[in-house]
Structure 1
Protein backbone atom coordinates (compact mmCIF):
# COMPACT_ATOMS: atom_id res chain seq x y z
CA UNK A 1 0.00 0.00 0.00
CA UNK A 2 1.46 3.32 -0.99
CA UNK A 3 0.58 6.59 0.69
CA UNK A 4 3.74 8.40 -0.31
CA UNK A 5 3.75 11.12 -2.98
CA UNK A 6 -0.02 11.21 -2.81
CA UNK A 7 -0.71 14.49 -1.08
CA UNK A 8 -3.38 16.81 -2.47
CA UNK A 9 -5.18 19.87 -1.19
CA UNK A 10 -8.55 19.29 0.44
CA UNK A 11 -11.57 21.58 0.30
CA UNK A 12 -10.20 23.53 3.26
CA UNK A 13 -6.86 24.04 1.56
CA UNK A 14 -5.08 21.63 3.91
CA UNK A 15 -2.99 18.74 2.56
CA UNK A 16 -4.74 15.38 2.56
CA UNK A 17 -3.40 11.88 1.98
CA UNK A 18 -4.74 10.23 -1.14
CA UNK A 19 -4.93 6.45 -1.06
CA UNK A 20 -3.24 4.44 -3.79
CA UNK A 21 -3.49 0.66 -3.85
CA UNK A 22 -1.92 -1.82 -6.22
CA UNK A 23 -4.06 -4.66 -7.54
CA UNK A 24 -2.23 -7.02 -5.17
CA UNK A 25 -2.99 -4.70 -2.22
CA UNK A 26 -6.67 -4.54 -3.17
CA UNK A 27 -7.09 -8.30 -3.39
CA UNK A 28 -5.21 -8.86 -0.12
CA UNK A 29 -7.33 -6.32 1.77
CA UNK A 30 -10.52 -7.73 0.24
CA UNK A 31 -9.62 -11.27 1.34
CA UNK A 32 -8.69 -10.10 4.86
CA UNK A 33 -11.96 -8.17 5.21
CA UNK A 34 -14.01 -11.15 4.07
CA UNK A 35 -12.31 -13.45 6.55
CA UNK A 36 -13.03 -11.12 9.46
CA UNK A 37 -16.56 -10.38 8.29
CA UNK A 38 -17.38 -14.07 8.06
CA UNK A 39 -16.67 -14.34 11.78
CA UNK A 40 -18.58 -11.12 12.54
CA UNK A 41 -21.73 -12.24 10.71
CA UNK A 42 -21.57 -15.65 12.41
CA UNK A 43 -21.46 -13.96 15.82
CA UNK A 44 -24.39 -11.70 14.94
CA UNK A 45 -26.39 -14.76 13.87
CA UNK A 46 -25.66 -16.37 17.23
CA UNK A 47 -26.86 -13.29 19.12
CA UNK A 48 -29.92 -12.81 16.89
CA UNK A 49 -30.98 -16.39 17.68
CA UNK A 50 -31.64 -15.16 21.24
CA UNK A 51 -33.48 -12.00 20.24
CA UNK A 52 -35.98 -12.35 23.11
CA UNK A 53 -33.14 -11.65 25.53
CA UNK A 54 -32.14 -8.37 23.84
CA UNK A 55 -33.25 -5.04 25.23
CA UNK A 56 -34.42 -2.47 22.65
CA UNK A 57 -31.14 -0.60 23.09
CA UNK A 58 -29.06 -3.74 22.57
CA UNK A 59 -31.02 -4.62 19.45
CA UNK A 60 -30.54 -1.10 18.06
CA UNK A 61 -26.82 -1.28 18.69
CA UNK A 62 -26.59 -4.74 17.13
CA UNK A 63 -28.38 -3.50 14.02
CA UNK A 64 -25.82 -0.69 13.84
CA UNK A 65 -22.98 -3.20 14.00
CA UNK A 66 -24.69 -5.25 11.29
CA UNK A 67 -25.00 -2.22 9.03
CA UNK A 68 -21.32 -1.43 9.53
CA UNK A 69 -20.59 -5.04 8.58
CA UNK A 70 -22.47 -4.60 5.32
CA UNK A 71 -20.53 -1.41 4.60
CA UNK A 72 -17.28 -3.31 5.03
CA UNK A 73 -18.60 -6.15 2.88
CA UNK A 74 -19.43 -3.62 0.15
CA UNK A 75 -15.84 -2.35 0.37
CA UNK A 76 -14.45 -5.90 0.19
CA UNK A 77 -16.58 -6.68 -2.88
CA UNK A 78 -15.64 -3.40 -4.55
CA UNK A 79 -11.91 -3.78 -3.93
CA UNK A 80 -11.95 -7.21 -5.56
CA UNK A 81 -14.03 -6.10 -8.54
CA UNK A 82 -13.29 -2.50 -9.50
CA UNK A 83 -9.89 -3.22 -11.07
CA UNK A 84 -9.85 -7.00 -11.35
CA UNK A 85 -13.21 -8.22 -12.67
CA UNK A 86 -13.30 -10.46 -15.71
CA UNK A 87 -16.41 -12.26 -16.95
CA UNK A 88 -15.80 -15.95 -16.28
CA UNK A 89 -16.98 -18.25 -19.02
CA UNK A 90 -18.70 -20.44 -16.43
CA UNK A 91 -20.74 -17.43 -15.21
CA UNK A 92 -21.81 -16.24 -18.67
CA UNK A 93 -25.34 -17.26 -19.65
CA UNK A 94 -27.91 -15.86 -22.05
CA UNK A 95 -30.85 -14.35 -20.17
CA UNK A 96 -33.77 -11.92 -20.67
CA UNK A 97 -32.31 -8.59 -19.58
CA UNK A 98 -35.47 -6.64 -18.71
CA UNK A 99 -37.02 -9.50 -16.75
CA UNK A 100 -33.90 -9.97 -14.63
CA UNK A 101 -33.41 -6.24 -14.20
CA UNK A 102 -37.01 -5.73 -13.12
CA UNK A 103 -36.67 -8.43 -10.46
CA UNK A 104 -33.74 -6.65 -8.84
CA UNK A 105 -35.13 -3.13 -9.28
CA UNK A 106 -38.49 -4.02 -7.74
CA UNK A 107 -36.75 -5.48 -4.69
CA UNK A 108 -34.61 -2.33 -4.42
CA UNK A 109 -37.67 -0.09 -4.84
CA UNK A 110 -39.45 -1.81 -1.96
CA UNK A 111 -36.49 -1.59 0.42
CA UNK A 112 -35.64 1.99 -0.47
CA UNK A 113 -39.28 3.03 -0.16
CA UNK A 114 -39.41 1.61 3.35
CA UNK A 115 -36.48 3.90 4.18
CA UNK A 116 -37.90 7.08 2.68
CA UNK A 117 -36.12 6.98 -0.70
CA UNK A 118 -37.78 6.84 -4.11
CA UNK A 119 -36.69 4.60 -6.97
CA UNK A 120 -38.78 4.25 -10.12
CA UNK A 121 -38.13 2.36 -13.35
CA UNK A 122 -39.48 2.12 -16.88
CA UNK A 123 -38.40 -0.98 -18.80
CA UNK A 124 -39.38 -2.46 -22.17
CA UNK A 125 -41.70 -5.45 -22.18
CA UNK A 126 -39.80 -7.16 -25.00
CA UNK A 127 -37.81 -10.36 -24.45
CA UNK A 128 -34.39 -8.92 -25.28
CA UNK A 129 -31.51 -11.25 -24.48
CA UNK A 130 -27.97 -10.48 -23.34
CA UNK A 131 -25.07 -12.75 -22.43
CA UNK A 132 -23.34 -12.37 -19.11
CA UNK A 133 -23.60 -12.61 -15.34
CA UNK A 134 -27.03 -11.31 -14.29
CA UNK A 135 -26.09 -10.67 -10.66
CA UNK A 136 -22.88 -8.79 -11.50
CA UNK A 137 -24.77 -6.58 -13.96
CA UNK A 138 -27.36 -5.89 -11.27
CA UNK A 139 -24.54 -5.00 -8.89
CA UNK A 140 -23.22 -2.46 -11.41
CA UNK A 141 -26.67 -0.86 -11.80
CA UNK A 142 -27.15 -0.75 -8.03
CA UNK A 143 -23.87 1.13 -7.64
CA UNK A 144 -25.12 3.72 -10.13
CA UNK A 145 -28.39 3.98 -8.20
CA UNK A 146 -26.49 4.39 -4.93
CA UNK A 147 -24.39 7.18 -6.47
CA UNK A 148 -27.57 8.89 -7.65
CA UNK A 149 -29.13 8.70 -4.20
CA UNK A 150 -25.97 10.17 -2.65
CA UNK A 151 -25.97 13.07 -5.11
CA UNK A 152 -29.61 14.06 -4.57
CA UNK A 153 -31.68 15.31 -1.67
CA UNK A 154 -33.57 12.65 0.25
CA UNK A 155 -36.93 13.50 -1.33
CA UNK A 156 -35.49 13.43 -4.86
CA UNK A 157 -36.11 10.24 -6.89
CA UNK A 158 -33.70 8.14 -8.93
CA UNK A 159 -35.14 6.84 -12.20
CA UNK A 160 -33.97 3.82 -14.24
CA UNK A 161 -35.03 3.61 -17.89
CA UNK A 162 -34.42 0.87 -20.42
CA UNK A 163 -34.45 1.06 -24.20
CA UNK A 164 -33.07 -0.54 -27.37
CA UNK A 165 -30.76 1.31 -29.78
CA UNK A 166 -29.86 -0.84 -32.78
CA UNK A 167 -28.08 -3.95 -31.49
CA UNK A 168 -27.57 -2.48 -28.01
CA UNK A 169 -29.64 -2.55 -24.84
CA UNK A 170 -29.42 0.80 -23.05
CA UNK A 171 -29.93 1.25 -19.30
CA UNK A 172 -30.01 4.85 -18.09
CA UNK A 173 -29.86 5.75 -14.39
CA UNK A 174 -31.00 9.34 -13.79
CA UNK A 175 -30.68 11.45 -10.66
CA UNK A 176 -31.76 15.04 -10.04
CA UNK A 177 -28.88 16.02 -7.80
CA UNK A 178 -26.16 18.63 -7.99
CA UNK A 179 -24.48 17.25 -11.10
CA UNK A 180 -20.77 16.68 -11.75
CA UNK A 181 -18.55 19.66 -12.60
CA UNK A 182 -17.01 19.32 -16.11
CA UNK A 183 -13.47 19.30 -14.69
CA UNK A 184 -14.31 16.20 -12.61
CA UNK A 185 -15.98 14.13 -15.36
CA UNK A 186 -12.82 12.10 -16.00
CA UNK A 187 -11.58 11.81 -12.43
CA UNK A 188 -14.84 10.24 -11.19
CA UNK A 189 -13.81 7.00 -12.89
CA UNK A 190 -10.50 6.85 -11.04
CA UNK A 191 -10.52 4.45 -8.07
CA UNK A 192 -10.13 6.02 -4.62
CA UNK A 193 -11.24 9.47 -5.74
CA UNK A 194 -14.59 10.67 -4.47
CA UNK A 195 -16.27 14.07 -4.03
CA UNK A 196 -19.34 15.17 -2.14
CA UNK A 197 -22.15 17.40 -3.47
CA UNK A 198 -19.98 20.49 -2.93
CA UNK A 199 -16.98 19.08 -4.79
CA UNK A 200 -15.03 18.46 -1.57
CA UNK A 201 -13.07 15.31 -0.87
CA UNK A 202 -15.56 12.72 0.38
CA UNK A 203 -14.84 9.99 2.91
CA UNK A 204 -15.64 7.15 0.52
CA UNK A 205 -13.38 4.74 -1.41
CA UNK A 206 -14.79 6.00 -4.72
CA UNK A 207 -15.11 2.54 -6.27
CA UNK A 208 -18.74 2.54 -7.45
CA UNK A 209 -18.23 4.10 -10.88
CA UNK A 210 -14.96 2.25 -11.64
CA UNK A 211 -16.67 -1.01 -10.66
CA UNK A 212 -19.74 -0.35 -12.80
CA UNK A 213 -17.64 0.55 -15.84
CA UNK A 214 -15.35 -2.46 -15.36
CA UNK A 215 -18.33 -4.86 -15.18
CA UNK A 216 -20.07 -3.34 -18.21
CA UNK A 217 -16.90 -3.34 -20.32
CA UNK A 218 -16.25 -6.98 -19.35
CA UNK A 219 -19.68 -7.72 -20.86
CA UNK A 220 -18.78 -5.93 -24.09
CA UNK A 221 -20.68 -2.80 -23.07
CA UNK A 222 -19.86 0.72 -21.94
CA UNK A 223 -20.68 3.38 -19.37
CA UNK A 224 -20.71 7.13 -19.94
CA UNK A 225 -21.99 10.07 -17.93
CA UNK A 226 -23.97 13.11 -19.02
CA UNK A 227 -24.27 15.76 -16.32
CA UNK A 228 -25.25 19.36 -15.65
CA UNK A 229 -26.35 21.37 -12.64
CA UNK A 230 -29.79 19.69 -12.63
CA UNK A 231 -28.57 16.11 -12.35
CA UNK A 232 -26.67 13.24 -13.93
CA UNK A 233 -27.52 10.42 -16.32
CA UNK A 234 -25.37 7.28 -16.23
CA UNK A 235 -25.85 5.61 -19.62
CA UNK A 236 -25.00 1.91 -19.84
CA UNK A 237 -24.94 -0.09 -23.06
CA UNK A 238 -24.88 -3.86 -23.49
CA UNK A 239 -24.75 -5.85 -26.74
CA UNK A 240 -27.88 -7.85 -27.48
CA UNK A 241 -27.54 -11.58 -28.00
CA UNK A 242 -29.37 -13.70 -30.58
CA UNK A 243 -28.39 -17.08 -29.13
CA UNK A 244 -31.05 -19.23 -27.44
CA UNK A 245 -31.67 -18.49 -23.78
CA UNK A 246 -29.46 -20.61 -21.52
CA UNK A 247 -30.38 -19.35 -18.04
CA UNK A 248 -31.15 -22.56 -16.18
CA UNK A 249 -29.92 -21.81 -12.66
CA UNK A 250 -32.34 -20.20 -10.17
CA UNK A 251 -32.75 -16.46 -10.59
CA UNK A 252 -31.03 -14.34 -7.92
CA UNK A 253 -33.13 -14.05 -4.76
CA UNK A 254 -32.39 -10.44 -3.98
CA UNK A 255 -34.59 -10.08 -0.89
CA UNK A 256 -34.03 -13.57 0.53
CA UNK A 257 -30.25 -13.75 0.08
CA UNK A 258 -28.70 -11.80 2.95
CA UNK A 259 -25.49 -11.33 0.96
CA UNK A 260 -27.12 -10.24 -2.29
CA UNK A 261 -25.88 -7.00 -3.86
CA UNK A 262 -29.12 -5.39 -2.76
CA UNK A 263 -28.07 -5.37 0.90
CA UNK A 264 -24.37 -4.73 0.32
CA UNK A 265 -24.44 -2.02 -2.38
CA UNK A 266 -27.40 -0.12 -0.89
CA UNK A 267 -26.25 -0.53 2.73
CA UNK A 268 -26.01 3.24 3.25
CA UNK A 269 -29.59 3.84 2.08
CA UNK A 270 -31.50 0.96 3.69
CA UNK A 271 -31.74 -0.65 7.11
CA UNK A 272 -29.97 -4.01 7.46
CA UNK A 273 -32.16 -7.13 7.27
CA UNK A 274 -33.50 -8.10 10.69
CA UNK A 275 -34.18 -10.60 12.19
CA UNK A 276 -30.96 -12.07 10.89
CA UNK A 277 -31.43 -15.81 10.36
CA UNK A 278 -28.95 -18.45 9.29
CA UNK A 279 -28.44 -17.95 5.55
Structure 2
Protein backbone atom coordinates (compact mmCIF):
# COMPACT_ATOMS: atom_id res chain seq x y z
CA UNK A 1 0.00 0.00 0.00
CA UNK A 2 1.54 3.28 -1.08
CA UNK A 3 0.80 6.97 -0.69
CA UNK A 4 1.95 7.28 2.92
CA UNK A 5 3.63 10.64 2.33
CA UNK A 6 0.47 12.08 0.81
CA UNK A 7 -1.56 10.97 3.80
CA UNK A 8 0.89 12.08 6.49
CA UNK A 9 -0.94 15.33 7.36
CA UNK A 10 -3.92 13.21 8.48
CA UNK A 11 -1.84 12.01 11.40
CA UNK A 12 -0.23 15.31 12.33
CA UNK A 13 -1.35 18.16 14.59
CA UNK A 14 -5.14 17.67 14.66
CA UNK A 15 -4.87 13.88 14.86
CA UNK A 16 -2.21 14.05 17.58
CA UNK A 17 -4.34 16.48 19.58
CA UNK A 18 -7.33 14.16 19.20
CA UNK A 19 -5.24 11.16 20.25
CA UNK A 20 -4.08 12.96 23.40
CA UNK A 21 -7.71 13.77 24.21
CA UNK A 22 -8.79 10.16 23.71
CA UNK A 23 -5.96 8.87 25.90
CA UNK A 24 -6.54 11.40 28.67
CA UNK A 25 -9.99 10.15 29.69
CA UNK A 26 -9.15 6.50 30.45
CA UNK A 27 -5.79 7.44 31.99
CA UNK A 28 -7.48 9.98 34.26
CA UNK A 29 -10.13 7.46 35.27
CA UNK A 30 -7.59 4.74 36.04
CA UNK A 31 -5.41 7.13 38.06
CA UNK A 32 -8.31 8.58 40.05
CA UNK A 33 -9.80 5.21 40.99
CA UNK A 34 -6.38 3.77 41.85
CA UNK A 35 -5.61 6.71 44.15
CA UNK A 36 -9.00 6.37 45.83
CA UNK A 37 -8.34 2.69 46.51
CA UNK A 38 -4.85 3.43 47.88
CA UNK A 39 -6.24 6.16 50.15
CA UNK A 40 -8.98 3.87 51.48
CA UNK A 41 -7.47 0.50 52.43
CA UNK A 42 -10.65 -0.39 54.35
CA UNK A 43 -12.91 0.28 51.35
CA UNK A 44 -15.98 -1.94 51.13
CA UNK A 45 -15.29 -5.06 49.06
CA UNK A 46 -18.15 -4.52 46.62
CA UNK A 47 -17.12 -0.91 46.02
CA UNK A 48 -13.51 -1.99 45.48
CA UNK A 49 -14.67 -4.63 43.00
CA UNK A 50 -16.65 -2.00 41.13
CA UNK A 51 -13.60 0.24 40.89
CA UNK A 52 -11.47 -2.68 39.66
CA UNK A 53 -14.04 -3.51 36.99
CA UNK A 54 -13.92 0.07 35.70
CA UNK A 55 -10.11 0.07 35.74
CA UNK A 56 -10.07 -3.20 33.78
CA UNK A 57 -12.55 -1.87 31.21
CA UNK A 58 -10.62 1.38 30.76
CA UNK A 59 -7.35 -0.55 30.42
CA UNK A 60 -8.90 -2.67 27.68
CA UNK A 61 -10.09 0.49 25.94
CA UNK A 62 -6.57 1.88 26.07
CA UNK A 63 -5.24 -1.33 24.56
CA UNK A 64 -7.76 -1.21 21.71
CA UNK A 65 -6.92 2.42 21.02
CA UNK A 66 -3.18 1.70 20.89
CA UNK A 67 -3.75 -1.28 18.58
CA UNK A 68 -5.87 0.78 16.20
CA UNK A 69 -3.43 3.69 16.18
CA UNK A 70 -0.62 1.28 15.30
CA UNK A 71 -2.77 -0.29 12.57
CA UNK A 72 -3.58 3.12 11.14
CA UNK A 73 0.09 4.12 11.20
CA UNK A 74 1.07 0.96 9.34
CA UNK A 75 -1.61 1.53 6.72
CA UNK A 76 -0.35 5.08 6.25
CA UNK A 77 3.22 3.96 5.58
CA UNK A 78 4.88 2.54 2.50
CA UNK A 79 5.70 -0.60 4.49
CA UNK A 80 2.12 -1.85 4.54
CA UNK A 81 1.45 -4.47 1.91
CA UNK A 82 -1.81 -6.16 1.05
CA UNK A 83 -1.78 -9.92 0.56
CA UNK A 84 -3.67 -9.94 -2.73
CA UNK A 85 -5.44 -12.93 -4.17
CA UNK A 86 -8.82 -13.92 -5.64
CA UNK A 87 -11.75 -13.05 -3.37
CA UNK A 88 -15.40 -14.03 -3.84
CA UNK A 89 -17.24 -11.04 -2.42
CA UNK A 90 -20.50 -12.92 -2.02
CA UNK A 91 -18.84 -15.55 0.13
CA UNK A 92 -16.97 -12.89 2.09
CA UNK A 93 -20.19 -10.99 2.81
CA UNK A 94 -21.88 -14.17 4.03
CA UNK A 95 -18.96 -14.83 6.36
CA UNK A 96 -19.00 -11.24 7.63
CA UNK A 97 -22.74 -11.46 8.33
CA UNK A 98 -22.25 -14.74 10.20
CA UNK A 99 -19.48 -13.29 12.36
CA UNK A 100 -21.41 -10.07 13.03
CA UNK A 101 -24.68 -11.76 14.00
CA UNK A 102 -23.74 -12.07 17.72
CA UNK A 103 -23.38 -8.27 17.84
CA UNK A 104 -27.18 -8.08 17.61
CA UNK A 105 -27.71 -10.31 20.66
CA UNK A 106 -30.37 -8.85 22.91
CA UNK A 107 -31.98 -6.91 20.06
CA UNK A 108 -34.92 -7.75 17.84
CA UNK A 109 -32.75 -7.07 14.80
CA UNK A 110 -31.32 -8.96 11.86
CA UNK A 111 -28.90 -8.78 8.96
CA UNK A 112 -30.45 -9.22 5.50
CA UNK A 113 -28.28 -10.19 2.52
CA UNK A 114 -29.11 -9.17 -1.05
CA UNK A 115 -26.52 -10.96 -3.18
CA UNK A 116 -26.24 -12.05 -6.81
CA UNK A 117 -26.77 -15.71 -7.55
CA UNK A 118 -23.28 -16.16 -8.99
CA UNK A 119 -19.84 -15.33 -7.61
CA UNK A 120 -18.43 -11.81 -7.78
CA UNK A 121 -14.65 -12.08 -7.92
CA UNK A 122 -12.18 -9.31 -7.14
CA UNK A 123 -8.49 -9.28 -6.41
CA UNK A 124 -7.92 -8.34 -2.81
CA UNK A 125 -6.67 -9.09 0.67
CA UNK A 126 -9.38 -11.30 2.13
CA UNK A 127 -8.50 -10.63 5.77
CA UNK A 128 -8.32 -6.86 5.32
CA UNK A 129 -11.59 -6.71 3.38
CA UNK A 130 -13.24 -8.80 6.09
CA UNK A 131 -11.90 -6.31 8.64
CA UNK A 132 -13.63 -3.48 6.74
CA UNK A 133 -16.94 -5.33 6.52
CA UNK A 134 -16.93 -6.27 10.20
CA UNK A 135 -16.18 -2.69 11.19
CA UNK A 136 -19.11 -1.39 9.14
CA UNK A 137 -21.43 -4.10 10.46
CA UNK A 138 -20.29 -3.45 14.03
CA UNK A 139 -21.08 0.24 13.66
CA UNK A 140 -24.50 -0.57 12.24
CA UNK A 141 -25.23 -3.05 15.03
CA UNK A 142 -24.58 -0.35 17.63
CA UNK A 143 -27.02 2.06 15.99
CA UNK A 144 -30.03 -0.05 14.94
CA UNK A 145 -33.07 0.09 17.23
CA UNK A 146 -33.67 -2.70 19.72
CA UNK A 147 -37.03 -3.48 18.12
CA UNK A 148 -37.27 -3.95 14.37
CA UNK A 149 -33.60 -3.27 13.74
CA UNK A 150 -32.42 -4.12 10.25
CA UNK A 151 -29.04 -4.11 8.52
CA UNK A 152 -29.16 -4.68 4.77
CA UNK A 153 -26.04 -5.82 2.94
CA UNK A 154 -26.26 -5.71 -0.84
CA UNK A 155 -23.83 -6.47 -3.64
CA UNK A 156 -24.05 -5.38 -7.27
CA UNK A 157 -21.55 -5.92 -10.04
CA UNK A 158 -20.76 -4.48 -13.44
CA UNK A 159 -17.65 -2.53 -14.31
CA UNK A 160 -17.06 -2.45 -10.55
CA UNK A 161 -18.34 -4.28 -7.50
CA UNK A 162 -20.59 -2.16 -5.27
CA UNK A 163 -21.29 -3.15 -1.66
CA UNK A 164 -23.87 -1.22 0.36
CA UNK A 165 -24.34 -1.64 4.08
CA UNK A 166 -27.46 0.16 5.26
CA UNK A 167 -29.19 0.29 8.63
CA UNK A 168 -32.41 1.74 9.96
CA UNK A 169 -30.81 3.54 12.87
CA UNK A 170 -30.78 7.31 13.40
CA UNK A 171 -28.24 7.85 10.63
CA UNK A 172 -25.41 10.34 10.24
CA UNK A 173 -26.09 14.02 11.04
CA UNK A 174 -26.61 16.17 7.92
CA UNK A 175 -23.41 17.53 6.46
CA UNK A 176 -21.25 15.08 8.40
CA UNK A 177 -20.97 12.23 5.88
CA UNK A 178 -17.32 12.99 5.14
CA UNK A 179 -16.42 14.00 8.68
CA UNK A 180 -17.04 10.46 9.97
CA UNK A 181 -13.85 9.40 8.18
CA UNK A 182 -11.69 11.81 10.17
CA UNK A 183 -9.58 10.12 12.87
CA UNK A 184 -11.23 9.97 16.31
CA UNK A 185 -14.50 11.49 15.08
CA UNK A 186 -17.53 9.68 16.46
CA UNK A 187 -20.78 11.25 15.37
CA UNK A 188 -24.10 10.07 16.67
CA UNK A 189 -27.58 11.62 16.62
CA UNK A 190 -27.99 15.03 18.27
CA UNK A 191 -24.24 15.34 18.73
CA UNK A 192 -23.85 12.20 20.85
CA UNK A 193 -20.65 10.13 20.71
CA UNK A 194 -21.31 6.43 20.05
CA UNK A 195 -18.90 3.90 21.60
CA UNK A 196 -15.64 3.15 19.81
CA UNK A 197 -12.25 4.70 19.15
CA UNK A 198 -13.17 6.73 16.08
CA UNK A 199 -10.46 4.99 14.05
CA UNK A 200 -12.42 2.17 12.44
CA UNK A 201 -13.74 4.20 9.52
CA UNK A 202 -10.45 5.95 8.65
CA UNK A 203 -8.68 2.59 8.74
CA UNK A 204 -11.40 0.98 6.63
CA UNK A 205 -11.18 3.73 4.03
CA UNK A 206 -7.41 3.29 3.76
CA UNK A 207 -7.80 -0.44 3.26
CA UNK A 208 -10.39 0.02 0.51
CA UNK A 209 -8.32 2.70 -1.21
CA UNK A 210 -5.34 0.35 -1.06
CA UNK A 211 -7.44 -1.97 -3.24
CA UNK A 212 -8.02 0.80 -5.77
CA UNK A 213 -11.54 1.35 -4.50
CA UNK A 214 -13.57 3.91 -2.56
CA UNK A 215 -15.52 3.96 0.68
CA UNK A 216 -18.09 6.71 1.25
CA UNK A 217 -21.12 7.43 3.40
CA UNK A 218 -24.23 8.32 1.41
CA UNK A 219 -27.23 10.31 2.66
CA UNK A 220 -30.08 7.91 3.36
CA UNK A 221 -32.64 6.93 5.94
CA UNK A 222 -30.34 5.51 8.57
CA UNK A 223 -26.66 5.14 7.72
CA UNK A 224 -25.49 3.85 4.34
CA UNK A 225 -21.86 3.03 3.58
CA UNK A 226 -20.83 2.20 0.03
CA UNK A 227 -17.71 0.31 -1.03
CA UNK A 228 -16.69 0.28 -4.67
CA UNK A 229 -13.98 -2.12 -5.82
CA UNK A 230 -12.55 -2.68 -9.30
CA UNK A 231 -13.53 -5.93 -10.99
CA UNK A 232 -10.75 -7.61 -12.98
CA UNK A 233 -11.51 -7.99 -16.70
CA UNK A 234 -12.66 -11.44 -17.70
CA UNK A 235 -10.61 -13.54 -20.07
CA UNK A 236 -11.06 -12.44 -23.65
CA UNK A 237 -12.32 -8.96 -22.74
CA UNK A 238 -10.62 -5.88 -24.13
**TM-score (normalizing by structure 2):** 0.65
Match of 1:105 among 78, 82, 97: 97
Are positions 1:158 and 2:190 aligned together? no
206 and 119 in structure 1: CA distance in 2 versus 1, 3 angstrom threshold:
same
RMSD: 3.4
Say which SS state the counterpart of residue 112 (structure 2) adopts. Answer: strand
Are positions 1:149 and 2:141 aligned together? yes
Stretch moving more, 141-150 or 76-85: 76-85
Q: CA deviation at 1:70?
A: 6.8
Which runs of structure 2 are paired with 1:189-208 in the superposition (5 Å)?
189-202=181-194, 204-208=196-200
Aligned partners of 2:66 and 2:113: how far apart in 1? 28
Aligned partners of 1:202 and 1:100: how far apart in 2? 27
Match of 1:81 among 66, 71, 93: 71
Q: CA deviation at 1:144?
A: 1.1
Describe the superposition over 1:61-92 as per-residue Cα deviations: whole angstroms up to 9, x where unpaired. xx999987875564344223335327625x11
Higher helix proportion: 2
Higher gyration radius (CA): 2
180 and 219 in structure 1: CA distance in 2 versus 1, 3 angstrom threshold:
same
Are positions 1:176 and 2:174 aligned together? no
Aligned to 2:42: none
Aligned to 1:20: 18
Are positions 1:134 and 2:134 aligned together? no
Q: CA deviation at 1:169?
A: 0.8
Q: CA deviation at 1:101?
A: 2.4
185 and 131 in structure 1: CA distance in 2 versus 1, 3 angstrom threshold:
same
Say which SS state the counterpart of residue 127 (structure 2) adopts. Answer: helix
Say which SS state the counterpart of residue 143 (structure 1) adopts. Answer: helix
Aligned partners of 1:235 and 1:21: how far apart in 2? 27
182 and 114 in structure 1: CA distance in 2 versus 1, 3 angstrom threshold:
closer
Aligned partners of 1:163 and 1:95: how far apart in 2? 15
Are positions 1:236 and 2:227 aligned together? yes
In the alignment of these two chains, the number of paired residues is 187
19 and 202 in structure 1: CA distance in 2 versus 1, 3 angstrom threshold:
farther
Aligned partners of 2:182 and 2:203: how far apart in 1? 10
Which runs of structure 2 are paired with 1:257-276 in the superposition (5 Å)?
none
Match of 2:206 among 214, 217, 225: 214
